[in-house]
Amino acid sequence: MRAIAVFPDSREVKLIETVEPVITRLGQVKLRMLDVGICGTDKEISSFVYGSPPPGERYFVLGHEALGEVVEVSPDVHDLAPGDLVIPAVRRPCPHARCRPCRAGHQDFCETGDFIEHGIKGAHGYLAEFVVDDASYMHRVPRELREVAVLVEPLTIAEKPESQIRALMQRRPPWVDRDVADRAIMGKGYHALILGAGPVGILGAMTFGEAGFTTSIYSRGRPPSPRVDVAQMIGAKYLASEDVPVEAIIEHVGAIDLVYEAVGHPVLALEVLHQLGPNGIYVLTGVPGPHAPFKADPAMLFRDMVLKNQVVLGTVNAGSQDFAAAIADLQTFYRRWPDALTTLMDTRTPLDQAVERIMSGPARIKTIVSCQS
């Protein structure tokens, strides 16, 4: 069986031949991997910024944005069958009894940091021809989403904070007699600014647009560009950072009620935070890599946050409810913006060319590896 493996000690990323996995215990499922998306996390792991193998092993298989097809289940698994398409959850709970979120099935809120993440930390990932995994962490997707289902995991990045924003919006007056949990009206009359026109940013723009927000995307790159094309397809306003400085964003879009940051650039994130409007919500999803020190004025920042009643929210990973929401939303997006989703995805790269593709420059927007010949 072929797989893409990372060897941290020797600093290698390469295609390997390994033994095809088999089901060894109850509760397991065997998957034929179809598609795996490549993101910034994978590129950083491949640059040896972080990433760790399972205990006692020299390497780990890369890949966490995955779509697989069930080929076999253990005798006690009754809710999955061969032929089902599934998205595996990435994070698994820590073993500590004191960790209340993990014991409650919300390992995305783990309090100990001892979780494992497939393809990232302490467990093999999915960039392989076959995988055996726990059936309880599989999320079934409709066959009609086959071509775009690999986008489910990156879409969960927006789904998790979106569900929390519903509650946070209730702190804003006027308090009217309506259910703010109704997505169709949650963002109505409010403006969301998306930082970054990569896959996470574009999927976030779709998510908050569907929730009623007027959306704008602020990113590098002028037209013509597929990123600009996708923004226009989904009805978002696109602002090129080369043409619009941060301090002028408000002149182009008006008051900013929500910022969804999807770039992982600390300087830009702080600059835009100063532009957030009163009672605004700022969602941080990017994980900054090593960065040269820069000057900032925390006193001014904190003063603004207090005087303007602002909320800053950090979010990472996703829970089972977020995967369910992402699958449902992806169905809606595929019906509403089919051309945008297909434009978002690059031509699929064969597994034997994956290393070169991962180590090279950025794709049109989203790199997808096909695990089957």
Where along the chain do its domains lie?
2-148+345-370, 154-314
221 or 63, which is more confident?
63
Distance CA 281, CA 120 (A): 29
CATH of 154-314, one of 3.50.50.60, 3.40.50.300, 3.40.50.720, 1.10.10.10: 3.40.50.720
The per-residue pLDDT of the chain, averaged, comes to 93
pLDDT category at 185 given cuts 50, 70, 90 is: low
Q: How much is the average pLDDT of 19-28?
A: 98
pTM confidence score: 0.94
In 8-63, which ranges are E strands? 12-17, 28-38, 60-61
Token duo for residue 164: 């929390």
Say whether pLDDT at 177 is over 60.
no
Say whether pLDDT at 186 is over 90.
no
pLDDT category at 170 given cuts 50, 70, 90 is: confident
pLDDT category at 373 given cuts 50, 70, 90 is: confident
Quick: pLDDT tens for 305-334: 999 999 999 999 999 999 999 999 999 999
Type of residue found at 123: A
Q: How much is the average pLDDT of 114-121?
A: 98
Q: How much is the average pLDDT of 149-172?
A: 92
Say whether pLDDT at 182 is over 70.
no
Say whether pLDDT at 224 is over 60.
yes
pLDDT given at position 178: 53
Distance CA 123, CA 138 (A): 16
Say whether pLDDT at 79 is over 90.
yes
Name the architecture of domain 2-148+345-370. Alpha-Beta Complex (3.90)
* Nearest CA among 261, 226, 220 for reference residue 244: 220
pLDDT category at 272 given cuts 50, 70, 90 is: very high
* Nearest CA among 77, 50, 368, 248 for reference residue 239: 248
pLDDT given at position 360: 86
pLDDT category at 292 given cuts 50, 70, 90 is: confident
